[in-house]
Each structure stands twice: as structure tokens, then as C-alpha cells.
Amino acid sequence: MSGDTCLTTLCPASESKSKICSLKGAENLGNKYIRLNVGGFLCYTTVEVLTRHDTMLKAMFSGRMEVLTDKEGWILIDRCGKHFGSILTYLRDDTIILPKSGSEIGRA
């Protein structure tokens, strides 16, 4: 798999309990892929990408915060995942493509 990838499938509803874990030492993961579930959108990315800028994601994946995981090990982020691919693009490239109209922004 090359680059970061967001899957288009939604996470099925799960009856299983989530668990809290710490990612202390995650900086050693570097370019290894981790699995994220952002509001039902399943994404693969690296700790290196998530910790590139000083953001809440950096706090989560540098071990400063505990994160929730499901029974399959997907890290849960309780936010809408609709635009998370754009966030990953920004973290990778420092660029973002803005919508052409304000109405597209309102559909978030």
C-alpha cells in the first residue's frame, strides 16, 4: 500500500466495548500503518503523518493522551469522517483544495 488511504466502507455497528489505551512509544512506529475509525470512515495512515504538525492528532499519537480502540484494534476518533481525507492530505503535503462554492462547505 503506498501513501495514506481512506477506505470508503463504513464501520459496521459493533456491540463490543471499546477500550482505552496509551500510544506511548508510538513515535517508534514511524512509517508503520495504523488503523483509524473516524466517525465510521476507516482510514490507514502512519504515526509520522499524524504527528507532523502540532495538532490534537499529534497529542493523541505521541503518547500525551489516551485513545480509544475497538476490539479489532481500530483507533476511534469521535468526529465526522467526511473530510478526514482532506485533513490527511494537508498533514502530508501542507496543501488543501478548497471547495469552489460556499454551499459545498455547508454540506460538511
**pLDDT tens-place string over residues 68-78:** 998 899 999 99
103/20 Cα distance (integer angstroms): 38
Distances in Å between the Cα of 83 and the Cα atoms of 9, 47, 58, 63, 98 are: 15, 19, 18, 25, 11
What pTM was estimated for this model as a whole? 0.67
pLDDT in tens, 40-73: 999 999 999 999 999 999 999 888 888 899 889 9
Give the Cβ contact number of residue 46 at 10 Å: 20
